[in-house]
Amino acid sequence: MHVHYVLVPNADHTAVLVTDGALPAVAAERIRTAVVPETLERELGLRAPFLRVAAVIKDADDKPTTALLEFDAPRSLSGGTWIAVDEAPRLVPPELRKPAERWVAEQFGAPIPPERAPWARPGWLAEAEAWIAENVELVEAPRLHAQWPLSSVLRATTADGAVYFKAAFPLFSHEPGVTAAVARAHPEIVPSVLAIEPERGWLLMHELRGPMLGDLDRSRWSEAGPLLAEIHRTWSSRRDDIFALGAVDRGLDTLAVPDELRGDLEALQELAWPETLVHGDFHPWNVVAGST
């Protein structure tokens, strides 16, 4: 069981939320950020934007056991009390004291590191929610689906069903444009895109329904191969289009490889395979299966 300690400031960042004199804490079977806001809302009536996992304690086997999570000021709260914000470090295990002290310093105005993701900064969620509402008519406010250092994903409900919003880390800011282009070219096999904001790396999509291929019998896993091959064939002749969308050139001639692999790389180049779009994380749990 993992323990998540939670840092929640008040609106003017002078106080931190406590329950029975301790920081709110959530127990979960694994480190998963979405379960923490859900539990806090259920138990404390707390709705607050989740920002980031500030620190994780691991055991002797390098497995996470305890985490410190940061939130923005609450939007609603029906339980708990407030104490001075600089009291927070004494309420966490010793291993989490330094990250708690850094959090306190930021509440007093210390600069946020420039490399921190946009969604891990106060105020970001309100901007994202406003953009979603500009593009679809919501019947239920966006909720956190998943968040980690490389992306934030929100789920919202419209009259036509669920939609998903994704914000990509700046390194992958080309993802919305590429996804929209692939959706136009392959409408039957990728999610339909509702809107993009390329400058911010924002993407809004219809829900793609169905079970994960990896959760089905292994005999069905091969179904994904022809679909990926179709995308590869289509885009193998559109190199300029791909780069115009902002995709990164990862051709064989751009790779830095150790000397012992150079011969293998040259052998691959001699095959003269056309360059195309490549999914960097293609596996059965990244594929939604259709019905048979």
Kindly state whether residues 104 and 17 are assigned to the same domain: yes
Tally of domains in the chain = 3
* φ, ψ of residue 87 in degrees (nearest 5): -85, -15
**What local confidence, expressed as pLDDT, does residue 30 receive?**
66
CATH of the domain at 77: 3.90.79.10
Question: Average pLDDT of 90-105?
Answer: 96
The pTM (predicted TM-score) of the whole model is 0.89
C-alpha angle 257-261-264 in degrees, rounded to nearest 5: 115
Express as a percent the part of the chain with pLDDT over 90.
69
In this structure, the answer to whether residues 182 and 247 fall within a common structural domain is: no
At 292 the pLDDT is 45
d(Cα 96, Cα 56) in Å, to the nearest integer? 8
pLDDT of residue 266: 86
Q: Are strands 64-71 and 2-7 parallel, antiparallel or unpaired?
A: parallel
For residue 291, what pLDDT is reported?
Answer: 54
Is a pLDDT exceeding 60 seen at residue 165?
A: yes
Among the listed ranges 3-17, 55-69, 126-140, 249-263, which one has the minimum average pLDDT value? Answer: 249-263
Residue with tokens 């400031």: 9
Is residue 64 over pLDDT 90? Answer: no
For 45-54, 105-114, 257-266, which range has the lowest pLDDT when averaged over its residues? Answer: 257-266
106, 16: one domain: yes
Domain contains 131: yes
- pLDDT range class, residue 71, cuts 50, 70, 90: very high
pLDDT 10s digits, 105-150: 999 999 999 999 999 999 999 999 999 999 999 999 999 999 988 9
**Do the domain assignments include residue 291?**
no
Quick one: tokens of 198? 């390329």
**pLDDT of the residue at 152:** 96
Same domain, 153 and 132: yes
Shared domain for 173 and 260, answered yes or no, is no
| Mean pLDDT, the chain, whole residue set | 92
Which residues form the domain of 76? 2-111
| Burial class of residue 196 in the structure, from the number of CB atoms within 10 Å of its CB (0-12 exposed, 13-18 middle, 19+ buried) | buried
Residue 271 scores a pLDDT above 90: no
